[in-house]
């Protein structure tokens, strides 16, 4: 049984329109909310001062001073030194296991000879006590040395963001084009079919 010409043409037009609409929906974007993780830089100041820590006299001339801290492996530190008098000093960080007088036996992790300014990041290599040592062949005032140690890290936080996403996946475009072409073929066949008498 053959389908009547008008019905065949109408069916072809409906299929053609459906295929076009299906194809068009792949280009329509709709807003969608989603949660996204991101890194927030954090820091805490461990030291930010001139000279020695605590009640020590910092105005007396000296050729060296050292201050020790305990740090854990993997901690990221920003170390800044500024000699305000302009006199060059030697700055280094050692493992803090020895006194200044016998520091030949200690391991030196950072060394900056003859400096007036240092600004560096350092990742702590192991759980240990570390000396921050300031030394000069000539005398200097401890309070002429401004130094800062800042511990840096990142924390993960979440935020809600709105993105435009396609209403239908792009692969549906191929299905829509195929359906539209089928509808065109059916319509063309329906138009070209001779009317039965």
- Sign for the pseudo-dihedral over CA of 133, 134, 136, 139: negative
For a pLDDT cut of 90, what percent of the chain falls above it? 23
Helix, strand, or coil (residue 9): helix
Question: Nearest CA to 81 among 10, 11, 133, 158?
Answer: 133
> Which candidate, 145, 155, 76, 70, places its Cα nearest to that of 115?
145
Q: Between the CA atoms of 136, 139, 143 and 145, what dihedral angle is there, to the nearest 10 degrees?
A: -20
Residue 78 belongs to what H/E stretch?
strand 76-83
Query: pLDDT-derived band of residue 30, with 50, 70 and 90 as boundaries?
Result: confident
Return the percentage of the chain with pLDDT > 70, whole number: 87
pLDDT tens, residue by residue, 180-189 = 888 888 888 7
Confirm if 148 and 118 have CB atoms less than 8 A apart: no
Is 148 a residue whose pLDDT tops 80?
yes
- Kindly state the greatest CA–CA separation across the chain: 121
DSSP letters for 147-184? EEEEEEEEEEEEEEEEEEEESS-THHHHHHHHHHHHHH
pLDDT at residue 31, rounded to an integer? 87
* Contact in structure between 121 and 152 (CB atoms under 8 Å): yes
**Alpha-carbon torsion (17, 19, 20, 24), positive or negative:** positive
Q: Sheet harboring 29-50: ordered strands across?
A: 29-50, 145-166, 76-83, 117-123
């Amino acid at each position: 049984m053959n389908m009547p010409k008008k019905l065949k043409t109408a069916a072809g037009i409906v299929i053609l329109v459906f295929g076009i609409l299906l194809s068009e929906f792949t280009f329509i974007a709709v807003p969608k909310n989603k949660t996204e993780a991101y890194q927030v830089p954090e820091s805490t100041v461990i030291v930010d001062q001139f000279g020695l820590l605590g009640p020590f006299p910092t105005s007396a001339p000296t050729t060296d001073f050292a201050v020790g801290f305990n740090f854990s492996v993997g901690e990221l530190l920003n170390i800044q030194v500024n000699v305000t008098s302009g006199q060059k000093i030697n700055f280094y960080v050692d493992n803090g296991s020895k006194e200044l007088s016998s520091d030949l036996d200690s391991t030196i992790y950072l060394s900056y000879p003859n400096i007036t300014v240092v600004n560096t990041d350092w990742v702590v290599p192991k759980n240990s006590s570390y000396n921050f040592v300031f030394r000069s062949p000539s005398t200097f005032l401890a309070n002429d040395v401004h130094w800062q140690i800042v511990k840096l890290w990142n924390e993960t936080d979440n935020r809600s963001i709105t993105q435009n996403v396609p209403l239908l996946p792009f692969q549906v475009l191929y299905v829509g084009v195929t359906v539209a072409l089928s509808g065109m073929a059916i319509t063309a066949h329906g138009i070209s079919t001779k009317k039965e008498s």
